[in-house]
Amino acid sequence: MGYWKDGACLISNYRTGKTVPLTPDILRVVQSLDRWALASEVAREVALPVGATRAILRALSAATLASARSRPAAEPPDPWGEWDPAAGFFHFSTRGTRFNADVSEGERRLARKAQTTPPPAPTAVRTASVRIPLPRPQSPSPLEQLLQRRRTWRQFSRAPLALDDLADLLRLSVGVQRWARDPANRRVVLKTSPSGGICHPIEAYVIANRVQGLARGLYHYDAAGHVLARLRRGGGRPLINQFIQAQPWYGHAPLVVLFTAVFERTMWRYPVAKAYRNVLIEAGHVCQTFYLLATERGLAPFCTHAIDEDAIDAALGIDAVSEGVVYVAGCGRPPAAGRDQGLPHLDWWTDGQHSD
């Protein structure tokens, strides 16, 4: 992928994040690399000295933009071929963003920014000749009451989570409701969330930190069998703090759920880059369901995208190409003192020590 950034024209392998400045000579060499060739053949084709051509090829090879081999080799098919470059560039180059460990400093910086660049209005009003005030119910339905109670929590009681709660959270957010066949006779699963093309790319992994009757560890949730498969023992708080950046309070959470996407499920059905959006949208559906289930049980859910994708994928043994983490949620029990009364839903930048 070639683009301008900070005044420099760059060419980048977005899979590896490696980049070289794009000069006219490098561009000519890159254009010639549509087949296996000797450095001398490339030099002849682009009319550059062999030494200079070799240097460019070495630089491209070091940046994983070209392969240097003594003889041609067949490249394995690229599973992202149909989604590249648009979806691949976005997926791979937006992983691994580092977050400022000093959250209060981030808040102060935003407060300074707001003085010169006011934040956009959080809601919109459109000018219209007809405006119709809508009715509100006399008494809120149980679902409305549940929705009104949903909040993000960052403090948790020391009490462990019940295994039944964990089981229901997983079963009803990512578990299989039933099997079916689509018009192409493909076996599909139905779940509580909708899924574009019935692909259901989202998988769930669990860090059990304090769950009654469940050894501390990292587990995969088998959505069809409703079974936890242990991938490794232990982990707990250090693992959570490694996976969720700069937010040590989540290390106290009894349960963290890592939502990954198996991209090929969606790619198979939709070989078009736009379908990458489906995957992210569907993670949002699943996470909202997780929140509501937790809220209904009087638990304290949270979600975060401040995650170290590389660390999580490495721990799960997945490669970000066929499967990669996309979202993280979790929950515990509310602290005895309840939410911070002064800042009911903006307590996330306070220390967030778990209480009780």
Residues lying near ligand FMN in the complex (CB under 6 A) are found at: 151-152, 154, 247, 303-306, 345, 348
Choice between 40 and 97, CB closer to ligand FMN:
97
Choice between 181 and 345, CB closer to ligand FMN:
345
Judging by beta carbons within 10 Å of its beta carbon (0-12, 13-18, 19+), is residue 236 exposed, middle or buried?
middle
Residue type, 318: I
**∠ Cα 19 21 26 (to 5°):** 105
351, 105 in Cβ contact below 8 A?
Answer: no
219, 208 in Cβ contact below 8 A?
Answer: yes
User: CB of 210: closest distance to ligand FMN in angstroms?
Assistant: 19
User: CB of 349: closest distance to ligand FMN in angstroms?
Assistant: 8
**Cα–Cα distance, 151 to 343 (Å, whole number):** 12
| Cα-to-chain-centroid distance, residue 67 | 30
The continuous run of DSSP H or E covering 142 comes out as helix 142-149
Choice between 80 and 276, CB closer to ligand FMN:
276
User: CB of 256: closest distance to ligand FMN in angstroms?
Assistant: 12
Choice between 152 and 241, CB closer to ligand FMN:
152
Choice between 195 and 247, CB closer to ligand FMN:
247
User: CB of 293: closest distance to ligand FMN in angstroms?
Assistant: 15
Query: What is residue 74's DSSP assignment?
Result: P
User: CB of 121: closest distance to ligand FMN in angstroms?
Assistant: 17
User: CB of 304: closest distance to ligand FMN in angstroms?
Assistant: 3
Choice between 151 and 237, CB closer to ligand FMN:
151
152, 302 in Cβ contact below 8 A?
Answer: yes
Quote the tokens at residue 220: 């995969």
User: CB of 60: closest distance to ligand FMN in angstroms?
Assistant: 36
The continuous run of DSSP H or E covering 241 comes out as helix 236-243
Q: Taking the C-alpha atoms of 164, 165, 170 and 171 in order, what is their torsion angle to the nearest 10 degrees?
A: 50
Choice between 12 and 193, CB closer to ligand FMN:
193
**Cα–Cα distance, 258 to 315 (Å, whole number):** 11
